[in-house]
Amino acid sequence: MGGNDIAERYFACVRAKDIDGLLALYADEAVFVSPMGGEIKGKDAIREMQLRVFNLSAPKPNPIAMVVSERLVAVEIEAHMPDGQVRHTANFYHLDDKGFIARLSVYMRG
């Protein structure tokens, strides 16, 4: 699985609210860093967090630009919120040796 593939599959799963497909992209001991700086560790905790997001009418992410290296993918995102607002974020995917997401850091502008 390459970096482009990880990012494309990630956004497809988020848009479809496909929790099993999304979690299949993560390494077992993955860490998710929220825009507020909190760390969520492990697939079970990431599942709980993501299900809460899905239940709150999750934003529709639109990747704008992507930079890919062997084990790092950076994606600039324009996220359309259910209330019509637009948020600008960036996802930084750190991949393990097998190409799974070991760490995902999400940053929000403004």
Instruction: Give the CATH fold of the 3-109 domain.
Output: Nuclear Transport Factor 2; Chain: A, (3.10.450)
Find the helix or strand (DSSP H, E) in which 70 lies.
none
pLDDT for the residue numbered 5: 87
Model confidence over 80-91: pLDDT tens digits? Answer: 877 888 889 999
CA nearest neighbour of 34 among 46, 22, 20, 25: 46
In this prediction, residue 76 has a pLDDT band, given cuts at 50, 70 and 90, of very high
The tokens for 80 are 């359309």
pTM of the model: 0.89
Domain ranges of the chain: 3-109
CA distances from 45 to 14, 33, 51 (A): 17, 12, 10
Look up residue 99 and give its DSSP letter.
S
pLDDT at 77 over 70: yes
Higher-confidence residue of 41 and 15: namely: 41
The whole-number pLDDT of residue 2 equals 62
User: Is the pLDDT at 96 greater than 70, yes or no?
Assistant: yes
